[in-house]
Amino acid sequence: MPKLLYLITEDWFFVSHFLPMARAARAAGFQVVVATRVRDHADRITAEGCRVVPLENERRSFGPFAALAAFARMVRIVREERPDIVHCIALRMVVLGGLAARFAGVERLVLAPTGLGHLWIDDGLKERLASLFARLVVGRWLRRPGTRYLFENFDDPAEFGLAADAPVTIVPGAGVDSAEFPPAPEPPAPPLKVAVVARMIWPKGIAEAVEAVKRARALGAAVELDLYGSPDPSNRRTCTEAELQVLSAASGIRWQGRTTDVARVWREHHVAMLLTWYREGVPRSLIEAAAAGRPVVTTNVPGCRDLVHDGVEGFLVPPHDIEVAAQALVRLAGDAALRQRLGRAAHARFEERFTEEAVRRTVTALYASFGVDKAAPGAQT
């Protein structure tokens, strides 16, 4: 069997977002190996028929020594595994893993930044230099006949200078199984129940969501907000538990912690909100909400606007604009027919493009484009 090696930062990230890709690879006849930082989800990955290789890699560290150490570990893994294709997921792995794979002699690469993260929103000298380096590596140094690019939205390829003739595939997000998020009647209202499902990091718009709900309540709307998610200690902009507890002290605001039943969240809430100013791919939580037939209030930023058209599946608001977001919540709180119309459109949008099956078709075609000889495992072009 030919071998496909995924390089990805965290085991939980692979489980939450990329199992549909692994299933597509296995169905196409690949042996799948996942090199990642192992914490709590190795058994789940193994249950999918994949082999797990531990790869310690701290996302928070961007120092040169840490990067060189991570690069060396990846080179060793690639040389030991001798994969036919290396699929690098998330920007850090795309840069370091892509270079390591080339250094180890692999020619067939899939570079999948997913989103561009904090390097594209922070304006410090270190971040500007790092983003410049990422652009050079991804858009120039790693671009060869054996390289394929996999993006989740239509804005990101231009950030790396990839023109229309570049080998770019747009994958519709992470892929969500429609059977897991069936549309359901909305719960009783008032109050309008709004949910944010995300990592609890400030660039996901956590503070903005809280302030928008406070403002909507001040305008007379019966609105409540539930925050679902955990702090991310590997992200320098994480919310702390103490900070989230302070937010929860406000009337109508509750931090619920991490949930393993997102489908229940959307059954029990009327509206999905994500006022992110992070550089997203396409947020999975919004895809799940759309699958469940819930309207979405989100920011007019790359990735989010690939799923939501303003006034169709929900509302797009400018980043950091609390007043516009609050006004959207006021409208939704006072108009059940509007909520239902937007929710139906959100579900239709999901079925049109964002299903797990759509992701499988896209990724299967991408892997097939390499023309790997299935009789010669480990062969390199």
**Domain around 52:** 3-175+356-368
Q: In whole angstroms, what is the distance from residue 112 CA to residue 208 CA?
A: 29
> Could you tell me if residue 381 is inside a domain?
no
Query: Predicted confidence band at 375 (pLDDT cuts at 50, 70, 90)?
Result: very low
Give the pLDDT confidence of 309-348 residue by residue, as tens digits: 999 999 999 999 999 999 999 999 999 999 999 999 999 9
Do residues 184 and 161 both lie within one domain?
no
Mean pLDDT over the full length of the chain: 92
Q: How far is CA 157 from the centre of its chain?
A: 16
Does pLDDT of 207 surpass 90? yes
Q: How many residues does the chain have?
A: 381
| CA 313 – CA 88 distance, rounded (Å) | 32
Please determine, for residue 359, whether its predicted confidence score (pLDDT) is greater than 60.
yes
For residue 119, the model assigns a pLDDT of: 77
What does the pLDDT read at residue 376?
44
Domain shared by 103 and 47, yes or no? yes
Asked if 193 and 284 sit in the same domain, the reply is: yes
Lowest mean pLDDT among 61-70, 144-153, 205-214, 323-332: 61-70
Do 241 and 316 sit in the same domain of this protein?
yes
Q: Which is higher by pLDDT, 243 or 70?
A: 243
Query: Is the same domain home to 59 and 94?
Result: yes
pLDDT band at 15 (very low <50, low <70, confident <90, very high): very high
Residues 153 and 190 in one domain: no
In a domain, 182, yes or no: yes
Could you tell me if 147 and 183 lie in one domain?
Answer: no
- Give residue-wise pLDDT tens across range 99-134: 999 999 999 999 999 888 777 877 778 878 888 999
Helix axes 19-27 and 356-368, enclosed angle (nearest 10): 50
Decide if 132 is inside a domain: yes
Q: Tell whether 47 is covered by a domain.
A: yes
Count how many domains the chain has. Answer: 2
Q: Are 319 and 330 contained in the same domain?
A: yes
Q: Confirm whether 105 is domain-assigned.
A: yes
For residue 375, being part of any structural domain is answered with no
pLDDT digits (tens, 9 = 90+) for 40-72: 899 999 999 999 999 976 655 556 777 888 899
Predicted local distance difference test score (pLDDT) of residue 42:
93
Does 342 share its domain with 197? yes
Is 146 found in the same domain as 15?
A: yes
Query: What is the reported pTM?
Result: 0.91
What is the pLDDT confidence band of residue 377, given thresholds at 50, 70 and 90?
very low
Residues 153 and 277 in one domain: no
What are the backbone angles phi and psi of residue 193, rounded to the nearest 5°? -100, 120
H or E, element range at 373:
none
- 186 within domain boundaries: yes
Are residues 197 and 114 located together in one domain of the fold? no
Across 224-244, average pLDDT: 94
Q: What is the CATH number of the domain that holds 331?
A: 3.40.50.2000
Residue 376 lies in a domain: no
- CA-nearest of 156, 185, 194 to 285 is 194
